[in-house]
Amino acid sequence: MNTIAEHIADFLKEYAPFDNLTFHELSQIASKIRVLNLEKHAILFKNNDVLHDSFYVVAQGTINLSIIADAEETLLNKCHTGDIFGLRPFFAKNNYTMTAKAREESILYAIPISVFRPFVANNSDVLNFLLESFAANTRHTKETNYKGKLIPDNAFYSDTQSEMQYIQSLNYNNSPITVPITTTVKEAALLMVESLINNILVCDENNNPIGIITEADMATKIATGRFPITVTVDTIMASPVVTVFENVSLAEAQLLMIKHDVTHLCVTKDGTNKSVVKGIISEHDLIVAQASNPGVLIKEIKRSQVPKDLKEIRDRLGDLIQNSIQKNIPISHISNIANEINLALIRRAVELSILDLGSPPARFAWLSIGSQGRKEQLLLTDQDSILIFEDVTAEKYRDVKDYFLHLAKKTTSILEKVGYEYCPNGHMGSNMLWCKSLTDWTKQYNSWMNTPGESSNDLSSIFFDYQIVFGEPKIEEALENIIYKNAQNNTLFFDFLGNDALKKNSPLTFFKKFVLEEEGENKDKFDIKTRALMPLIDGARLLILSNDIKGINNTYLRFKQLAITDTKNADIYLNCAEAFLTLSKYRTLEGIKNDDAGQFISIKDLSKLDREKLKNALAPMRELEELIKSKFQLTQFS
């Protein structure tokens, strides 16, 4: 191996993803690499340039990646020594969607795609890294002048939560055009033009796939004159086709396309070419799907600088939730992902406020409470939060509280612009009642829990559903310890919470009909939040506190844990857990349909089957009510 190639291999092995390859493999790659010297401000490629045959590693210097929109250049990323960029030729066939310009004199290594592709196809860690790099250096925008081309192309987000990959939605053509092997190329071409598609499947008499023809085949084999247009399709088709199961994940589809160097995958009933065709997945489908990849959304949130960027990402979360529900992905998985993205959005709002105001004068914790605190916010509802700062000396207290009130006001204002409305009850960190020191919060919880109903600030149970979004975890732990210490043998507190949980009006009449609203704008609709979900939420909270179970704030998981802790009543808890998921799904579907919080459901618009499912989900509530009455010796008639 020559010394230049050896020097390059030595350099590459220090950086991901090349550190996943052996030195022998690196040496093979290095011998084919071109070294480029770029002057300051030299452009390597610009928006809409034809793709190069290589991608690039920065050996020395800095490369700016930018887009130009509305005559304004926006910097997306700076690539420094060891960074990879220009990966579009790996994952897409359309032209570059950004400009790469040298910020200073720079040296680049150009790695030919054809040389590197085999190493990617055999190593998922390498593929994973390239996809993440691609997403980080790409940007999605809905601006009309880009016609949606600037979509993140990452398809594989590596995270400890398997749900991240599980939920990636992939829509594809499930009614592809198929032709028998006797069809002429001319007939196939006319069908493609009429149907406005760029591919056609060739099938046998049982509708099993035997080949595929794409626009590329037409261009390279017919337009060039290699074959006359009168030949039959088997002459120019690619065969065999690469086949996949109907529920193939985005990551698997991307890997298969790279491995087999194809632009289409054929979906069949059992995933082989010996079964019936169910659809066709194109490269374009993958790129569209990747726009709502949870990993990409979280990366974009971290890079967002203004509320408008965060709002656009929150809108895309709505699309992701809708697609996932349509695909029958379990609502618990969808909730996990939505929670991660909601958390990231709120966290970024706090960060942007700190960037604006300067460093905090004391340690603090921003906690989401209510539905966000329970990780149950699938729809855009109002924001609920509290802010706790560490204890400071008396002379500093006023200045410190002023800073945190300013911080909270900025944060809640950003979140309002993103689409989370202000809490109508003022349960937000920007309210001076809910922005205070740990000692003051300790007094607040002591008062609520030891003299419930007497406090001037009425006890709201949402203050017992919380999760830390930003700041010092030890502050959240301290709050939890205060709550559970006060809860021990606190009959008065549980009597208050128990009666509160039981006073919600029954969802069904004596004759098992839905209790509907009698007046107002929601007349004749069913209040699924107040009559169905809240009794389950309140019951789970009450039981989890009384059983001294810490660290679980989600209603579904609370019931699952109660089934393990209190085995005697396990069936009731498991039924309640399932009921909660079913009810949450109906509320979410209603919210998506009406673009609101989904609280009021039009029963008459549901199918007979859906009405029965909804009614069945209300059945466990009666058992839960009886359990609470006997456990806490309550006599409230609900």
Q: Confidence class of residue 333 from pLDDT cuts 50, 70 and 90?
A: confident
Q: Is the pLDDT of residue 162 over 50?
A: no
CA-wise closest residue to 57 among 126, 110, 115: 110
Q: Confidence class of residue 146 from pLDDT cuts 50, 70 and 90?
A: very low
pLDDT in tens, 376-386: 888 877 899 99
CATH architecture of the region 3-117: Sandwich (2.60)
- For 190-208, what is the mean pLDDT? 91
- Angstrom distance (rounded) from CA 217 to CA 160: 41
Supply the pTM of this predicted model.
0.61
The pLDDT of residue 416: 95
CA-wise closest residue to 322 among 171, 172, 175: 171
Q: Is the pLDDT of residue 366 over 90?
A: yes
- Angstrom distance (rounded) from CA 636 to CA 502: 7
Q: How much of the chain is in helix, strand and coil states, percent to nearest 5? A: 50, 15, 35
- The pairing of beta strand 63-69 with beta strand 99-102: antiparallel
Give the percent of the chain with pLDDT over 90. 51
Angle at 225 between CA 223 and CA 228, to 5 degrees: 95
Q: Is the pLDDT of residue 561 over 50?
A: yes
Higher local confidence (pLDDT), 7 or 288: 7
- Angstrom distance (rounded) from CA 54 to CA 33: 9
The pLDDT of residue 193: 85
- For 193-199, what is the mean pLDDT? 86
- Summary mean pLDDT of the chain: 85
pLDDT in tens, 594-638: 888 889 999 988 899 999 999 999 989 989 999 999 998 875 443
The pLDDT of residue 452: 82
Mean pLDDT is lowest, of 124-133, 136-145, 227-236, for 136-145
Q: Which CATH class is domain 178-286?
A: alpha beta
pLDDT in tens, 401-431: 999 999 999 999 999 999 999 999 899 999 9
CATH number for region 349-484: 3.30.460.10
pLDDT in tens, 510-546: 667 888 888 889 899 999 998 999 999 999 999 999 9
- For 312-330, what is the mean pLDDT? 80
- Angstrom distance (rounded) from CA 211 to CA 213: 7
Handedness of CA 19, 20, 22, 28 (dihedral sign): negative
Q: Is the pLDDT of residue 559 over 90?
A: yes
The pLDDT of residue 87: 87
Asked whether the beta carbons of 299 and 136 are under 8 A apart, the reply is yes
**What would you measure as the largest C-alpha separation in the chain, in angstroms?**
91
The pLDDT of residue 137: 59
- The residue assigned the tokens 């029965």 is 612
Q: Where are the extended beta strands (E) located within 426-487?
A: 435-437, 466-471
pLDDT in tens, 262-302: 889 999 988 888 889 999 998 878 766 665 567 778 878 88
Backbone angles phi, psi at 63, to 5 degrees: -115, 130
* Cis previous bond, 228, omega within 30: no
Q: Confidence class of residue 160 from pLDDT cuts 50, 70 and 90?
A: very low
Asked whether the beta carbons of 172 and 297 are under 8 A apart, the reply is no
Q: Is the pLDDT of residue 129 over 80?
A: no
